[in-house]
Structure 1
């Protein structure tokens, strides 16, 4: 097993962030160390981080590399050292088992992250459409993209708020609704199409 796989299996982004001095609140938010952040805009979960202000994102190795200005390999080695992982020894059985089997909670987290990521991209698209396709004069006919942006933006922002700040029950309800009938996958495919046609 290579050092990257071992580190990602053994150390969560949140563990590393807190170990290196970031104060992550109960909603997973922290002040972003990559820009002058006055209000927490860095979302930290177990397997990734994302800043809503400056756009920085990645996994535990990316975070460490960025924090200490290291190459990815050196960041992985630093994590292995700081968290007392021996690259020449196999992972403990407990970690290997945990890594192999997706628990219900892990599946929910993955679905939650998918929903969050897709909705966040949709929100950016809608904000762009609202600005780009706004009527220039009262007599102009409304572009369907402008109408969609006005109609869907409040809903998308509400869903994102729940995924960011809701309790586990509220988040799981949102995820269930969004994954029902493959809605979030269809939206993801549509966003891919929009990127392709840009």
Structure 2
């Protein structure tokens, strides 16, 4: 029996995927790590298959695809990582260090992707809330006398509205590159403006209550 068959006798794709950081649900589904998967489209058991992007294979194929290795190097990595009692030539220290660096880099990328995904969902809700607050402020002021209606805070909210809509367009319909650029370069500004809108809204509501 060759090392490929021996490795597959010892390991399933699910064991390997979970060991390398993939969260697999109880029903055996997971978000595919090989494309921007927002909903679980991969089935993982003895083998794996993604119904969205079409990739699939066994434990060795998963490892090769995950780390950009040849099938043979992927088999050697599994033997090393899982301490399998399968004979193969001993990895050199340099090879082990290379595989370790590749694993660490892959895990770093996975962590960044998860952080970005959480930020994107949270920011969409934050910006939608800001738009609701701008609309609500306008409704509140509309029923007031001219001396109350004039509001610097509301003027600043209206000034912020176009950029909020622009950011929402990027996060909901923009390219992955544009979304990542906003995440890397613009998230502080997004949070600041959304926070200011919330503060201005509270100020307008309180002022209108006092004038009632």
Comparing both structures, which one devotes a greater share of its residues to helix? 2
Max Rg structure: 2
TM-score, length-scaled by structure 1: 0.42
